[in-house]
Amino acid sequence: MELGRFQAGIEATFGERDRARGVDGTFRWFVEEVGEVAKALRGTDRANLEHELGDAFAWLTSVANVAGVDLEQAARRFADGCPRCGARPCTCPPA
User: What's the burial of 65, exposed, middle or buried (CB within 10 Å: 0-12/13-18/19+)?
Assistant: buried
End-to-end CA distance of the chain: 32
**Which alpha helices (H) appear in 1-95, and where do they start and end?**
3-41, 46-67, 71-75
- Distance in angstroms (rounded) separating the CA atoms of residues 77 and 83: 6
pLDDT tens, residue by residue, 7-57: 999 999 999 999 999 999 999 999 999 999 999 999 999 999 999 999 999
- Distance in angstroms (rounded) separating the CA atoms of residues 78 and 20: 32
- Distance in angstroms (rounded) separating the CA atoms of residues 79 and 6: 18
pTM: 0.92
**Residue 4 pLDDT greater than 80, yes or no:** yes
Class of domain 3-78: mainly alpha
Domain spans of the chain?
Answer: 3-78
